[in-house]
Amino acid sequence: MLAEAGPFYYDLLRPYYQQDKENFSHLHIEKINAMDYYVEDMKIDLIIQNERIEIPHFSLNLYDGNMAGLISANLFDGNVENIQWRIKANVSRLNSAKLLPTGNNKGKGSDLNMNLELSGEGIDPAGDLELGGYLYVTKIGPKFTDNVLKSLDPKGTDKSIQDTRKLLKWGYKPKLISFEIKHDNLYPSIHLRKGSFLTKLIPLNISGGKIELARMPIKFFLSSLEIEAQ
């Protein structure tokens, strides 16, 4: 599988694949607008062979930042429940103010950096969907972190999440948010550091700065995101 070779080897092999006029395509889309969301300067290398689709490299600009990575999919018989897929990407300098669902797509929030690798079988969240992988947000601000925690606990009933939100209000700063996905469950955790002078006076030590939040079924998480988007 070409996508698994990684960007370094693909860059070396790209001239070879460009000669395959029947299966290789390069797409450049200047802008995509959907409601209040937009993507600009999208560049895609596309290879289609039989039932297999590979995007060994894509890049795009979104929310004042950029994203690059690779995507592969095996369509098999075309049934959405049988499609096997994989995406690996890095995101840098994303403007969190434009990403927040409650945002007005104006102004400047904290920059977000993240990397992700997801793979699965099926593409319909309401049907049979197997999903695994991770998403790490390596640069993140308190406001966006609080919004993420609210989306994980919309009813405000999870004590660990509510306690973490209190720490953010007291001045603790997020270093990392991680989402591990395995066995149809989402395992979120957050790493905090003491930020303001006040937090350094609080006699509270978090082991390694890491707080592991309660696991949740991935379908429940996806459905809560869908409700928020409506």
- What is the SS3 assignment for 210? strand
81 class by beta-carbon count within 10 Å (0-12 exposed, 13-18 middle, 19+ buried)? middle
Instruction: Give the model's pLDDT for residue 98.
Output: 72
Report the relative pairing of strands 84-95 and 24-34 from DSSP bridges.
Answer: unpaired
pLDDT digits (tens, 9 = 90+) for 177-208: 999 999 889 999 999 887 766 666 665 566 56
Report the relative pairing of strands 210-212 and 185-193 from DSSP bridges.
Answer: antiparallel
Beta bridge partners of 74: 52, 84
DSSP state of 214: P
- What are the boundaries of each domain within the chain? 2-229
C-alpha closest to that of 112 among 67, 169, 58: 67
| Average pLDDT over the chain, rounded to an integer | 81
Asked if residues 117 and 106 have their Cβ atoms less than 8 Å apart, the reply is no
170: pLDDT strictly greater than 90: no
pLDDT digits (tens, 9 = 90+) for 36-68: 678 999 999 998 888 899 999 999 998 889 999
Instruction: Give the model's pLDDT for residue 155.
Output: 85
Instruction: Give the model's pLDDT for residue 17.
Output: 74
Average pLDDT for residues 158-169, to the nearest whole number?
A: 88
